[in-house]
């Protein structure tokens, strides 16, 4: 635990001096701000939109799918590129401790960003009567945290495969988008298409969690996906042993 927390703390702090982290955070807040202003300005007065704390969450999910891989792409790729992975792994540190520490560090940083997006629901709540449904908002945010945990783990796995950061980014985006579109398979009736559709990452978010219903199965889905991606990442790091 001590080693994991040292590595996590270092990665977490690193985001505060990383241009990519600032660019990513800027994209999130500028676009969400724009969407928010448009909704408030055009949607609410005409009555086409009801006051809802979740009004920025749908664009946020799409942005996160494209931006989190940029936060994770360097985590292992850069260490392989610079040779510092050799330094870490010849210290008394286990492979999985490096992987878990890095994931935790990036998770911590994304939690800060997600906490920042809470500003929009607070504003809506303040200026509407009778306010917003806090329960649905909380459930949607819990789902968002679970989704982000999985996205980061997938990004970290992609980063473990390459010493080239753009390659890690594109691979992570590819995996994430694939997991999104396979959700469309549930239109099919066969057991096979239903099984594939189960992998649809956004179905697990929008079906229940976003609606304010916390189902354990959805949380288990995100947790399993996260664990699987982290496991694969540490297997890739360890593969240097038999390559």
Partner 1 sequence: MIQVKNLSKSYGNFPALSEISFQAKRGEILGFLGPNGAGKTTTMRILTGYMPPTAGSAKVAGFDVVEESLEVRKRVGYLPETVPIYPELSAREYLRFMGSLRRVENLDDRIDEVLHKVGLQDRSESYAGNLSKGLRQRLGLAQALLHRPEVLILDEPTIGLDPAQIIGVRELIREVGTDRTVMLSTHILSEAQQICDRVLIIHQGRILAEDTPTNLQSQLAGAERIRVRTSSDSKSLAKLLGKLPDTEEIKLIEGGVEVSGPPGKDIRPIIARTIVEADLDLLELSASSVSLERIFLQLTEEQNAREDSE
Closer CB to partner 1, 103 or 180, in the complex:
103
Q: Shortest Cβ distance from residue 104 to partner 1 (Å)?
A: 15
Smallest distance from partner 1 to CB 242, Å? 8
* Greatest Cα pair distance in the chain: 64
CB of 159 to partner 1, least distance (A): 16
For residue 130, is the peptide bond before it cis, meaning its omega torsion is within 30 degrees of 0? yes
Q: Which residues here bind partner 1, judged by CB under 8 A?
A: 3, 6-7, 10, 14, 17, 82-94, 240-241, 243
Fill in the DSSP letter of residue 208. Answer: I
Q: What's the rounded Cα separation, in Å, for the pair 75 and 106?
A: 9
Minimum distance from CB of 81 to partner 1 (Å)?
11
Nearer to partner 1, 11 or 52 (CB): 11
Nearest to 76 by CA among 47, 96, 48: 96
Query: Among all chains, which residue has been given the structure tokens 């996160």?
Result: 64
Give the nearer residue to partner 1 in terms of CB position, either 40 or 98.
98
Peptide bond connecting 188 to the previous residue in cis, omega within 30 degrees of 0:
no
Minimum CB distance to partner 1, residue 94 (Å): 7
Q: Determine how many CB atoms are found less than 10 A away from the CB of residue 132.
A: 19
Residue 190 CB, shortest distance to partner 1, in Å, is 42
Nearest residue to 118 (alpha-carbon basis) of 188, 72, 57, 165 = 57
User: In the numeric block, which tokens belong to residue 35?
Assistant: 């969407």
Looking at beta carbons only, is 23 or 86 nearer to partner 1? 86
CB closer to partner 1 out of 148 and 236: 236
Closest to partner 1 by CB, 44 vs 88, is 88
**DSSP secondary-structure letter at 79?**
H
């Amino acid at each position: 635990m001590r080693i994991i927390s040292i590595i996590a703390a270092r990665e977490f702090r690193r985001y505060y001096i990383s241009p990519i982290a600032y660019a990513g955070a800027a994209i999130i807040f500028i676009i969400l701000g724009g969407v928010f202003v448009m909704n408030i300005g055009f949607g609410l007065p005409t009555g086409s939109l009801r006051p809802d704390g979740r009004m920025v969450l749908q664009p946020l999910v799409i942005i996160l799918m494209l931006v989190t891989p940029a936060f994770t792409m360097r985590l292992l790729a850069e260490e392989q590129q610079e040779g510092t992975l050799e330094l870490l792994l010849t210290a008394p540190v286990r492979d999985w401790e490096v992987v878990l520490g890095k994931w935790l560090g990036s998770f911590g940083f994304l939690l800060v960003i997600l906490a920042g997006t809470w500003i929009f629901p607070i504003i809506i709540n303040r200026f509407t009567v009778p306010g917003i449904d806090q329960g649905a908002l909380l459930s949607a945010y819990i789902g968002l945290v679970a989704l982000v945990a999985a996205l980061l783990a997938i990004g970290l796995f992609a980063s473990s495969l390459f010493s080239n950061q753009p390659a890690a980014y594109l691979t992570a985006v590819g995996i994430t988008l694939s997991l999104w579109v396979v959700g469309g398979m549930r239109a099919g009736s066969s057991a096979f298409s239903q099984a594939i559709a189960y992998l649809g990452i956004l179905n697990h978010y929008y079906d229940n969690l976003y609606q304010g219903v916390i189902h354990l199965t959805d949380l288990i889905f995100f947790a399993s996906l996260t664990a699987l991606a982290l496991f694969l990442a540490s297997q890739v790091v360890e593969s240097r042993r038999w390559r």
